[in-house]
Chains A and B, each alone.
Chain A
Amino acid sequence: MGRKRSSLIPGVDKRLLIKDAVKVMPDLTRRRFIATGASLGALTLLTGCDVLDSDSAEQMLAQVSKFNDAVQSWIFNPNTLAPTFPESAITKPFPFNAYYDLDDAPEIDGKDWKLEVRGLVDNKKSWTLDELYKLPQVKQITRHVCVEGWSAIGSWTGTPLRDFLGLIGADTRARYVWFQCADKDGYNSPLDMASALHPQTQMTFRFADEILPRAYGFPMKIRVPTKLGFKNPKYVISMEVTNEYKGGYWEDQGYNSFSGN
């Protein structure tokens, strides 16, 4: 900068020099207006087609979604409880929701079903439904929020997941509990450990004080009131404690992985 300034013509007033130069130029404001207009046009063009549909846009959005996972994980307070409601607030009928019709929902025989436990746990024994039913259960009436925007209040009863993780000697320093389900096309979903250990996260066996009906995930659903509905897997057949991100049915299709409420 200093060198440039010293190379200006000695003895000439810089202000006067600029004034003289400006006089021979076309209307400056008009030139600037056109120049700015052109760059705005370029921006519209970029956002209008190129960026919107290109792979680079998808990559950028995926990056931001990962960033949003981190932000949500930071916002998540393990001591903040989901609001609970009175019995009278329960949505009736509670909606059935899946990517298939109710007729195509898994039909599981409770006598044959077993919950498979894998990964970073001390005791990998499988659990029958009768064994699980003997564990202490608690009831919660909370709001289920769907990624689509609608919500419904339901009554869920079951064993807090953190109690079960303690029972099987799970390494709770691991990053995820990954669930696999009996849905057609193999539904699965990862749950971050902090959410898995939240006091309201539940292995659900009953809905509205009745054995969990087929529509809502018989024999076992994972109820996570701090997550959007698609991260509340139904018809669960296995859980794996893992440090590996194994993806999920909807997560792999672009839904934000953390999806916390």
Chain B
Amino acid sequence: MHKKATYLIPYLLWIGLFVIAPMALIVYQSFFNITGHFTLGNYEQYLTNGVYLKMTFNSILYALIITLSTLLISYPTALLLNRLKNKQLWLLLIILPTWINLLLKTYAFIGLFSQNGSVNDFLRFVGLGSHQILFTDASFIFVAAYIEIPFMILPIFNSLAELKPSMINASRDLGANSWQTFRRVILPLTMPGVKAGFQAIFIPSLSLFMITRLIGGNRVITLGTAIEEHFLVTQNWGMGSTIGVILILAMFVVMYLTRDRKVKGGRIR
């Protein structure tokens, strides 16, 4: 027992210093106003000021759109990947872009989407004229989805790979066609992968701020942008922390909603 405790020390230090302490500081900070007096005003302001509520609503809406679009692209991709011969190689190609710095990828899209970028060059070439692509909601969602897709494909791919082929044979054997097999067997058995992907994308998407700024042109103000503004521009750390607390609570809510309701068939997740 004693030995086990020693092994735990690095982890406990890490979690104490970098997870628990910052969270405690954020909660503490959220009870002080800009002049340094203890107050519940930040929360009151958050709940009564339409700007913050709209921002929260927007964050959730955009995070949902981003997550659902990645899901729509990733599930069929993962299904297809699983049927390919060299699936590990193809999977590697999909994971590869995640190794490139996020900021670099975002800047690449500025180049692609700008007035003189490749996309507009192409549009002009086919005679469609140039368009404002950068700084639109669509480009924001597109780039965010592009960046998050590997994190959705990976867990879905893994749960599909774990699915025993005899499950699919059994379903066919019992008279189910391909679609019925997908709906009644494959989809429910790969839900853990979908949920893991949902968590991995929805929560970070709530607090995106770099892509909203660089690609979305700050037209979409999410909670992440608001926190950044309060800490760096308005210096209202109290209000920034309050929004931080709200985000942390939102994460717990999402985790709770996407938990595994029933542990069945030994598939403990």
A, B: real partners:
no
